[in-house]
Amino acid sequence: MDIRTIGWKNNKVRIIDQTKLPQRLVYLDIDKMEDLWQAIKVMQVRGAPALGAAAALGVYLGVRNYSGSDWPGFCRKLNAAAKYIASSRPTAINLFWGIEKVCAAAQENNKQPVVKIKQTMLEEAKKIIRADVCSCRKIGDYGSRLLKPGSSVLTICNAGILATIDYGTALGVIYSACKQGKKIRVFSCETRPLLQGSRLSCWELYKQGVDVTMIADNTAASLMAGGKVDVVIAGADRIAANGDSANKIGTLNLAVLCRYHRIPFYIAAPQSTFDLKLKNGRGIKVEMRDRQEVTKILLKKTVAPEGAAAINPAFDITPHELISAIITDKGIIRMPCVKNIRRIFKGETNAFKRNR
């Protein structure tokens, strides 16, 4: 695609500032770990797979100016950087996965000179970026088989180009189907409170020439009752061993609506979004964000009375029994459950042995 959400350019992390979309396409060049932490926090860069790359690069930024040549000193710096970046946002597992990838690369090379360790870490971060491009294409290819020509797909938040490196998970499925010549109609839930659906998904789908219609989140049931939705596809921020999936607040609403209206509900996510150490969704920490994201539209226009209470969980957990299938880069997991999830990742379980 012609949009690159995050990359390494001129020795800096280049990201699209997603808070400026859809009005302006602005790139930010970041060379300080603290600035990257902030960019993650305020969601200038967001989306689980993109956060994996951002976190890996962030840790690298945190250690690259280390002037010593000793492993123990470097290791302390590394651990501090890893801990710091990990404190930016709690729910998307990919963020922690990205951190661990670069930390493991350093650890494995701890006999090498520090300058070489740093180089290996940067290479590892770049590998995450290349792997994501590849994995999104695979998700797209697998998932597109589930879409018939003429299908009408409803999605929430942004699990597209802007949530990954350059293709998307849920929207990647749509892009792949479109490439195959299938005519797909997309309904994009605006996704309050931060409007990633209208601001980001509509923007990129429209730019890619996909037939997209924006709706208020409240309109989903009415569309389904009217027979206007064939399939719902959402991304995920963390998937437990039994298939319970955390994703943007509102995803559970859609899954329940799908069950009632007998519409397939799919999650699309790479292997790196699975957290097989968690038995089920109850173990997933849901980020609570500032109430002002709800009481002030885009932190500007106040829409609630001064002083009124508001709660603002950023995610909800969809139980696996409401998920028709999970579309991964390793294949489609139907009736998501511990057995079916383990089967598809067989032989790759080492990838999940993480220490957090």
- The count of residues in the chain is 356
Report 10-29 residues binding its own copies (CB under 8 A). 22-23
- CB of 130: closest distance to its own copies in angstroms? 29
Cα torsion for 288, 355, 120, 33, to the nearest 10°?
30
- CB of 294: closest distance to its own copies in angstroms? 5
- CB of 197: closest distance to its own copies in angstroms? 9
Report 106-125 residues binding its own copies (CB under 8 A). none
Q: How far is it, in rounded angstroms, from Cα 35 to Cα 17?
A: 12
In contact, 253 and 194? CB cutoff 8 Å:
no
- CB of 15: closest distance to its own copies in angstroms? 20
Candidate list 19, 180, 312, 340; residue touching its own copies; CB under 8 A: 312
Q: Does 220 bind its own copies (CB under 8 A)?
A: yes
Q: Does 310 bind its own copies (CB under 8 A)?
A: yes
Q: How far is it, in rounded angstroms, from Cα 190 to Cα 86?
A: 28
Place of tokens 């009124």: 308
For its own copies, which stretch binds (CB under 8 A), given 29-37, 108-116, 221-229, 343-351? 221-229
- CB of 311: closest distance to its own copies in angstroms? 6
Q: How far is it, in rounded angstroms, from Cα 132 to Cα 84?
A: 24
Report 183-212 residues binding its own copies (CB under 8 A). 190-193, 195, 198-199, 202-203, 206-207, 211-212
Give the DSSP letter string of 73-114.
HHHHHHHHHHHHHHTS-SS-HHHHHHHHHHHHHHHHTTTS-H
Q: How far is it, in rounded angstroms, from Cα 76 to Cα 244?
A: 35
Q: Does 215 bind its own copies (CB under 8 A)?
A: yes
Specify which residues 244 forms β-bridges with. none
| 142 closest CA partner among 104, 172, 102, 182 | 172
266: helix, strand or coil: strand
Report 124-143 residues binding its own copies (CB under 8 A). none
- CB of 262: closest distance to its own copies in angstroms? 12
Q: How far is it, in rounded angstroms, from Cα 165 to Cα 57?
A: 13
Q: What is the DSSP letter of 245?
A: E
Output 2 or 306, the one with its CB closest to its own copies. Answer: 306
Catalytic, 237? Answer: yes
Candidate list 19, 120, 180, 213; residue touching its own copies; CB under 8 A: 213
Find the catalytic residue in 166, 237, 316, 329. Answer: 237
Q: Can you give the binding site for its own copies, defined by CB under 8 A?
A: 22-23, 190-193, 195, 198-199, 202-203, 206-207, 211-222, 225, 248-250, 252-253, 256-257, 259-261, 294-295, 297-298, 300-313, 316-317
- Which residues are known to be catalytic? 237
